[in-house]
Structure 1
């Protein structure tokens, strides 16, 4: 089942270390089957506020996503970003291809008191 690394990064002033991080990051996740789904694109806010930027990297599994995050290669370059850009980063598993939200809704409704 696919998994995703999702980052919500705040605006940051341009910096050489950020450019170096961007140049090197792909090589850290490719060995784990990772690929960019969203990077450097503008986004459209429909509800609430969402300042900054969104990055989404897809992985074949949550184990592959975790292995990338914990890898020596990624941890070696992570400070190039984190010293200059604040943000939130999560790893999240996707849903199976046959996922049906109506089943989840029925389960929720069945657990509610009458």
Structure 2
């Protein structure tokens, strides 16, 4: 089910004609912006708990930058293509983040050093 959603959602967005100047679409973008801000603030706390920054190598950093620049190039070439690729990677990101969420929750509730 999740794999089919990961494949179908970007394809549907590619086929649907989005009017970026539509007022309702603007509201959706504003809401998404606020959700992303919260997500990134929450993300920093998760990465600190699992020590992600200690595992980040130069090779991984270069890979992240290459993917980011590639997506920017896709947006320059075609906004729709950039959007589809971004949403596809976002959905994969969320699916892969579930185990991290479980580790975070477990460490918050079952860590003996945490005061509740």
- Superposed pair shares fold, TM > 0.5: no
Instruction: Report which of the two has the higher share of strand.
Output: 1
Structure-2-length-normalised TM-score:
0.29
Structure-1-length-normalised TM-score:
0.29
Instruction: Report which of the two has the higher share of helix.
Output: 2
- Structure with larger RCO (C-alpha < 8 A, sep 6+): 1
